[in-house]
Structure 1
Amino acid sequence: MVSPPSPSSSSSSSGLLTVNRYEPELISPAGDTPRELKPLSDLDGQDWLRFMLPLLLFYPQSPSMKGREDPARVVKEALAKALVYYYPLAGRIREGPDCKLGVDCTGEGILFVEADADVSLQELGDSMKPPCGFVNEVLCDVAGSGGIIGCPLLSVTRLKCGGFILGIRLNHAISNSVGLKQFLEAAAELACGASVLSQPPVWRREILKARDPPRVTCTHPEFEDTVDAGSAVAMSDLTNMAHGSFFFGPREVASIKKRLPQHLLPKCSTFELVTACLWKCRTIALEVEPDDVVRLSCVINARGLNVPRGYYGSTSVKAMVLSKAGHLCTSPLGYAVELVKKAKEMVSEEYVRSFIDASVIKGGPNHTTVWDYVVADTTKVGFEAVDFGWGKPVYGGVAGAVPSISIYVKYKTREGEEGIVAAIMLPERAMRRFQEELEKMTDKGTVSEDQYGVDSSMIRSKL
């Protein structure tokens, strides 16, 4: 149940804001929940999903709530109520034989951190977009909250303008972005006075388990062994990485589209165009040997394949395409676009089943990562619609990229221009080359050494 936070506090500063935090507390379900061990699906347990997914939602001041409600109290109480329905999220992930994951439904709860920051939402401006330079201030490391079996974490950071930042760090193995948004919507409904949920959660992880016997019927290069593992050493050094953020609005998309052959123009989506552009620029920037094989993995949501409404587990698979680095770098952009389209088109119900079976036959998670660039599109998930009573957030989505993975988010600039922000992480030297290649693609001039532009702004940070 919800209890008042300890008055003792700590503070930290990122240079963008200073945060004063109360002692962390555990928010457990507001009612009795079953104590049981619930197995995750064979899709949930994939190694590429075993990471903590950080998300931030930025809420403006609400005149109707001013002086009446404390957002931390409202969110805590709603969270406790929602955990009665989503009680596995209050448990702990355990790893069993053969690397299989399950959830021990202990009812322990979600760690909650209440805090105050010395800035207004207006002052934060475009620093809200990924990569967020102050994510560690609003989603601080709390003992027990890290790692695959760590505790989920949620925070509310009040701003001096009356708005607040909602931060979430949840293990991706138990729920993907769509499932997390469903959980937050449930809590928001309860915060706004609902007595029952409009969409009850559905567990049923058995529907995405391997067939008996498992059988691989499609081609899955993502599981194949590689012999060039020493080639990508530069991507493994996390002490010398730059984190970049790039905006693709109508102007950028139109500039890139001019590079396509006429037959691709009517049937090329923004996702396909941006992904092809980023993959090509990234490969050039990394200076991959021409004969090395580079890989693009599109994360495809397979929710339409007999998955019931309310299901909040992972329904995402990787669809991988390959190319010689030299061919990708020297060919027209249309070549990369065709490969992205091929990756999307290969995902059928049989592909999903074959993908799950392949992971089991391999004896556990065993995905190829050498020169692999993974992209995921969250622009249609709808985090920007989650309303706890303060209205919709001005931005809601992931806080940044992780090595080799870019996640696209919907974003509106301060000037009101809508588009996609793609965060990317690269070695520092490669990041400069990447930006130069991207500027060529979007017909922008070269920037100076200490300036990173406006629409393709980049925040660099040591990780």
Structure 2
Amino acid sequence: MSVEARKQSSPAVIIRPPPEPLTTTTTKSGTVKLTSFDREFVKVPFTALLVFEHMGQHEAIDNIKRALSQALVHYYPFAGHIISSGAVDHAEFSISCTGDGVEFLTASMDCSLKEAKILDQSSSGKINAMLDELAILYSGWSYGFDDPLLSMQVTEFSCGGFVLGVTWNHAIADGVGIAQFLAAVGELARGSPSPSVVPTRWDDAVSKRSELIVPLDITIPSALINRVKAEYYHSCSGFDGQQPCTVFEAVLAVLWRCHVRATMSSNNSGNPVYITFATNMRKYVGAKDGYYGNCIANHLLTMATRSAVAEAGILDLIRMIKRAKDQLPDKVKTGNRSGNDDQQMQGLRERYDMMHVSSWRNVGFEQVDFGGGAPARVMFHARGGAPPVPMCIMYPPCKGMDGVNLLLFSVKEEQVNAFLGELAKHT
């Protein structure tokens, strides 16, 4: 822990939709069937931490609680729970819209954000141990059917800042969906009569469709990203229609090669390696504006061996990533409605030679505002340090920091120095 701090908290309360709807939208009952996108995450909890330097209004927490209640009128499935018919087939899972409510906890820390070093990126790459105190977390990596679909904790710091910790069942919303929900809560807290985006939970277009790893908090500098993008641009000079290299592609190529080089040995250099990355499929399947259920596809990228990736040039890896991304529209057109490479990925989920990459840079967390401005930092948090498979999450830029911030779960303790050394070679 960065500082000896004491936490005080009030008992958790249940926030429900208001007895009488405050808008023309009515709270609905019944069930919402889970899509093929949703069912993969039916027992998976996720936690996001949004760090705010200012509370905004004096009664900010009361406003958030009031706005959360109002938001549940529009996002009524969050106040329910997941049920099953008892069949083995996951297709039988649904959200029962019971209006039971969501869990809300208020806490305080007797230190400032600066003293707690919440906004700092540790030079050692190690995660701040205080983060476990900032959200309501389920034990392990498993959601129980008696758990609330969403839990929210607001922790005030002595400087006037606060951290919003949100834990939710991934089956009800992906990163884009939960960011949309929080943005709606923020709009209602700031006095808006209704959310600017009309939420949609069921969409026919969408429905058709372990090792002990050390968590690392690292940054890929803008100078490196810009240099890679420029080199790619010059390498493609004269090719009509060639799309420029994106930030995601540049960061992923550098990260993937550093990871493979750091984890390669004489015993595994000939092993096949895999990388998957999550893609927002809304535009590919024609989802309605405001849809907040799961609509992401895991896309598989394969190279023959570790040594092939380790010896490849960064520009070659970028071209591979681009080819994989370019296949998404064709997959949807040819019948793979979800775009998922699930069949190929079977048997790979527990393997150390596969890493999953997800970007939170453009999903909307950075636009959430409760009246005191946008978050200074957005973070994913996993209790116990590591998820079941190697993964990396790219964050929106941290205030005052340069480059792309990453939370990385892909190397063992004895491989950390090798990985950071490989990364340093690029910078």
TM-score, structure 1 normalization: 0.77
Name the SS for the 1:162 alignment partner: coil
1:308 maps to 288
Q: Please say if residues 294 and 322 of structure 1, whose CA atoms lie closer than 8 Å, have aligned partners that are also in contact.
A: yes
- Name the CA shift for 1:42/1:393 in 2 (closer, same or farther; >3 Å): same
Q: Please say if residues 317 and 355 of structure 1, whose CA atoms lie closer than 8 Å, have aligned partners that are also in contact.
A: no
Q: Which amino acid aligns with 2:102?
A: I
Q: Is 1:345 paired with 2:317?
A: no
Q: Which amino acid aligns with 2:39?
A: G
Name the SS for the 2:298 alignment partner: strand
Matches of 1:352 and 1:157, distance apart in 2: 46
Q: State how 1:272-351 maps to structure 2 within 5 Å.
A: 272-287=249-264, 289-304=268-283, 305-323=285-303, 324-348=305-329, 350-351=331-332
- 4+ residue stretches of structure 1 with deviation over 6 A? 142-145, 357-362
Q: State how 1:406-445 maps to structure 2 within 5 Å.
A: 406-412=392-398, 416-425=400-409, 426-442=411-427
Q: Which runs of 5+ in 2 are unaligned?
A: 21-26, 238-242
Q: Which amino acid aligns with 1:294?
A: V
Q: Please say if residues 199 and 290 of structure 2, whose CA atoms lie closer than 8 Å, have aligned partners that are also in contact.
A: yes
Q: Which amino acid aligns with 1:424?
A: L
Q: Is 1:105 paired with 2:85?
A: no
1:327 Cα offset (Å) = 0.7
- Name the CA shift for 1:148/1:344 in 2 (closer, same or farther; >3 Å): farther
2:79 maps to 90
Q: Please say if residues 256 and 441 of structure 1, whose CA atoms lie closer than 8 Å, have aligned partners that are also in contact.
A: no
1:456 maps to none
- Name the CA shift for 1:17/1:379 in 2 (closer, same or farther; >3 Å): farther
After TM superposition, the structure 1 stretch with the greater mean CA deviation from structure 2, 308-317 or 118-127, is: 118-127
Q: Which amino acid aligns with 1:310?
A: G
1:380 Cα offset (Å) = 1.3
2:173 maps to 175
1:356 Cα offset (Å) = 4.7
Q: Deviations over 1:82-139 (max 9, x none)?
A: 0111110111123443023311112111111110111212334454669553221011
Q: Please say if residues 45 and 138 of structure 2, whose CA atoms lie closer than 8 Å, have aligned partners that are also in contact.
A: no
TM-score, structure 2 normalization: 0.83
Q: Deviations over 1:350-369 (max 9, x none)?
A: 4387445797996xx95632
Q: Please say if residues 49 and 380 of structure 2, whose CA atoms lie closer than 8 Å, have aligned partners that are also in contact.
A: yes
- Name the CA shift for 1:180/1:350 in 2 (closer, same or farther; >3 Å): same
After TM superposition, the structure 1 stretch with the greater mean CA deviation from structure 2, 248-257 or 121-130, is: 121-130
Q: Please say if residues 257 and 273 of structure 1, whose CA atoms lie closer than 8 Å, have aligned partners that are also in contact.
A: yes
The RMSD of aligned alpha carbons is 3.0
Q: Which runs of 5+ in 1 are unaligned?
A: 1-12, 212-235, 443-463
After TM superposition, the structure 1 stretch with the greater mean CA deviation from structure 2, 272-281 or 136-145, is: 136-145
- Name the CA shift for 1:353/1:180 in 2 (closer, same or farther; >3 Å): farther
Q: Deviations over 1:177-224 (max 9, x none)?
A: 11111111111111111222222211224332346xxxxxxxxxxxxx
1:233 maps to none
1:375 maps to 357
Matched length: 395
Q: State how 1:152-167 maps to structure 2 within 5 Å.
A: 152-167=150-165
1:245 maps to 217
1:349 Cα offset (Å) = 6.1
2:49 maps to 56
1:345 Cα offset (Å) = 1.0
2:247 maps to 270
